[in-house]
Amino acid sequence: MNNFGLFASPWWVNLLILMPLLAFFYFRKTSLSITKTQLLVAAIFGIAFGFVEAAVVIYLRAASGLLPGYMQSLSEAAKQSNGVYWQIQTLNSLPKSLFTIEFYRNAASIIMLLSIAWLSVKGLKERVAMFLWVFSAWDIFYYVGLWLTIRWPNSLTTPDILFLIPVPWVSQVWYPLLVSGLTMLAVGVCVNDSHEPVLK
């Protein structure tokens, strides 16, 4: 188990802890015109996309030779990779061509999340809220997908590379999970239930 680390790097990544609070105060002024059904469907997308992202990362690690046991069962890969599977080690060992692909994959993921937010609701505030909601679900279930398949991360204090744009963001796993969980809570409590369609 790693020692608890309070800070992420670069320094400005630490400012993301303000996101849930800022979102709450921005969205609560006038409640969001988003239905619970829209949130549910968007969360399902985020969950599925998080698993797809986890699968891509597993394939990349296997192709890079950093996921021992992957030729056998998932349980064997999980057992053999415990303590070996490190995102930072992977980043440092990636060929420049694969690092470039990873960089653009990060950008493509954000574009997909923005597209879902744009298509699912109307109004700038609602689209910002939906982006934060789907991004957070995606982020949380990326880690859930990795843990369910290869039992990584093995603790909340495991270091991880969160993002590559414009430079690699590094923190322990607890940090993105906390920020994403609180952001989903902030969006969820600001939804106006009166916009739910009435069934006849």
Model confidence pLDDT, tens digit, residues 147-163: 998 888 889 999 998 98
More confidently predicted of 64 and 11: 11
In a domain, 8, yes or no: no
pLDDT at 198: 39
- Mean pLDDT estimate for the chain: 85
Alpha helix segments (H runs only) across the chain: 19-28, 36-63, 74-81, 87-93, 96-120, 124-150, 174-189
Domain range enclosing 181: 27-193
Please list, in sequence order, all residues whose beta carbon lies within 8 angstroms of the beta carbon of residue 42, skipping any fewer than 6 positions away.
Answer: 116, 117, 120, 130, 133, 134, 137
pLDDT tens track for 25-79 = 999 988 899 999 999 999 999 999 999 999 998 887 777 776 655 655 666 555 5
In a domain, 159, yes or no: yes
Alpha carbon dihedral 36, 16, 127, 106, in 10-degree steps, equals -110
In a domain, 115, yes or no: yes
pTM: 0.86
Number of domains in the chain: 1
In a domain, 18, yes or no: no
In a domain, 149, yes or no: yes
